[in-house]
Structures are given as C-alpha cells and as structure tokens.
C-alpha cells in the first residue's frame, strides 16, 4: 500500500473494530489491540530454550504451542482450539514445561510434559 503510514492509525482502528465484532458474534469478550502485547517468556536457560525452539519446528503439535507462558488460539478444520504453555517445578526443583491442546470449554485433547535435564527437554508424559 502506498503511504501506509498515512493510513495506519485508521486501518488499525478498523482491524480492532472488526475483531471486536467477530468476538461478539461468537459470544466472547476479550481485549483487542493491534499494538504489541508483552509476552512472559519461559524461565529456562538459553540452551534449554534453543532446544525447545528446535523441537517446535519438528513436531506439528509443538509448533502450535506458544513459546511463551500463556495461550494462543488456532482454528483447525473449523474448530477453535486453545494451545497453552505453562511452567512449574518438580519436587526436586527441576523445571517442568507443560503443553496442552484444549477445546474452548477446557477439555484437554492432548498434553505433554517435559522436564529440563542438562539444558534439554526430556518428555515425561
């Protein structure tokens, strides 16, 4: 688009309005913003994060999970799913990364748990 910066603010407002209307149509309420949203990163070593990012690229399930703490929504064959990444600790204080695929109602479709050992993610469930 020529002169995009001239029209950016109006286009951003239109996108936000369209997103709010869509959410209203599907019966949902959420904050809508075209501006950058800060994401909370996983609290793991750089080496473990690099290993995690490598795994994301090689597994279709993992590639849909966020590489931050939180959720992202994906529509697959007309069905909305929520992918979630969370982090906790084992009893012996090792980091655990939990990845879930859920229906909108919270029903878990798939879940994987990884413990971090020697800066690599090792699947435990």
Q: Residue ranges per domain, the chain?
A: 1-37, 40-123
**Percent helix, strand and coil across the chain, each to the nearest 5:** 30, 35, 35
What pTM, to 2 d.p., does this model score?
0.77
* Cα-based torsion angle of the residue sequence 118, 65, 87, 91 in order, rounded to the nearest 10 degrees: -60
How many residues make up the chain in this entry? 125
Query: What pLDDT tens digit does each residue of the chain (125 aa) get?
Result: 566 678 888 888 898 899 889 888 888 888 888 777 789 999 999 999 999 888 887 889 999 999 899 999 888 998 889 999 999 999 999 999 999 999 989 999 999 999 999 999 999 97
């Amino acid at each position: 688009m020529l002169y995009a910066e001239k029209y950016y603010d109006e286009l951003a407002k239109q996108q936000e309005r369209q997103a709010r209307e869509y959410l209203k149509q599907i019966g949902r309420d959420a904050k809508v913003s075209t501006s950058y949203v800060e994401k909370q990163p996983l609290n793991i070593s750089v080496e473990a994060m690099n290993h995690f990012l490598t795994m994301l690229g090689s597994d279709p399930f993992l590639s849909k999970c966020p590489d931050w703490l939180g959720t992202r929504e994906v529509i697959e064959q007309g069905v909305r799913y929520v992918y979630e990444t969370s982090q906790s600790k084992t009893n012996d204080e090792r980091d655990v990364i939990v990845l879930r695929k859920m229906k909108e109602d919270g029903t878990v479709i798939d879940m994987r748990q990884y413990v971090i050992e020697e800066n690599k993610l090792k699947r435990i469930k």
